């Protein structure tokens, strides 16, 4: 099983600040997916195939990486971005999610 380790576990950012969340895989994966989950809501797809923005996602979000190291960046933090973010892979079975990064607004 490929284990995805996210860092930080929790972080806070001021409006306008740049935020980067990292996802390290225990073995190389070909693509990474990112989801946003706001409190009390279902998850929402943000990024697919490592760096492609899902439909309707603001372009302040971006994804990058390769091999075992991937990242999600929010270029300019907004209050509505406060949420928990998860990375996910299915390069090999079983499909796995990272443990999540909680992002709060300062």
Partner 1 sequence: EVQLVESGGGLVQPGRSMKLSCAASGFTFSDYYMAWVRQAPKKGLEWVASISYEGSSTYYGDSVKGRFTISRDNAKSTLYLQMNSLRSEDTATYYCARHDTIGFAYWGQGTLVTVSS
Query: In this structure, what token pair is assigned to residue 72?
Result: 């999600």
Q: What share of the chain is helix, strand, coil (3-state, %, to 5)?
A: 5, 50, 45
**Cβ contacts of residue 25 below 8 Å, gap of 6+?**
2, 3, 4, 5, 32, 67, 68, 69, 70, 89
* Stretch of 15-23, 33-41, 62-70, 75-83 lying at the interface with partner 1 (CB under 8 A): 33-41
Compute the distance between CA of residue 36 and CA of residue 48 in angstroms, rounded to an integer: 12
The residue among 71, 44, 70 whose CA lies nearest residue 58 is 44
Please select the residue that binds partner 1; options are 21, 74, 86, 103, rule is CB under 8 A: 86
Nearer to partner 1, 3 or 76 (CB): 3
Judged by beta carbon, residue 17 or residue 102, the one nearer partner 1 is 102
Nearer to partner 1, 71 or 88 (CB): 88
**Least distance (Å) from partner 1 to the CB of residue 66?**
18
Is 33 near partner 1 (CB under 8 A)? Answer: yes
Question: Where do contacts with partner 1 occur on this chain (CB under 8 A)?
Answer: 1, 33, 35, 37, 42-45, 48-49, 52, 54, 86, 88, 93-100
């Amino acid at each position: 099983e490929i284990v995805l380790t996210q860092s930080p576990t929790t972080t806070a950012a001021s409006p306008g600040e740049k935020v980067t969340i990292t996802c390290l895989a225990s073995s190389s994966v070909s693509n990474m997916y990112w989801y946003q989950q706001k409190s009390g809501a279902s998850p929402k797809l943000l990024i697919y195939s490592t760096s492609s923005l899902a439909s309707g996602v603001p372009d302040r979000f971006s994804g990058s990486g390769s091999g075992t190291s991937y990242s999600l960046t929010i270029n300019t933090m907004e209050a509505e971005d406060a949420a928990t973010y998860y990375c996910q892979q299915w390069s090999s079975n079983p499909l796995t999610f990272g443990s999540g990064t909680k992002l709060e607004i300062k």
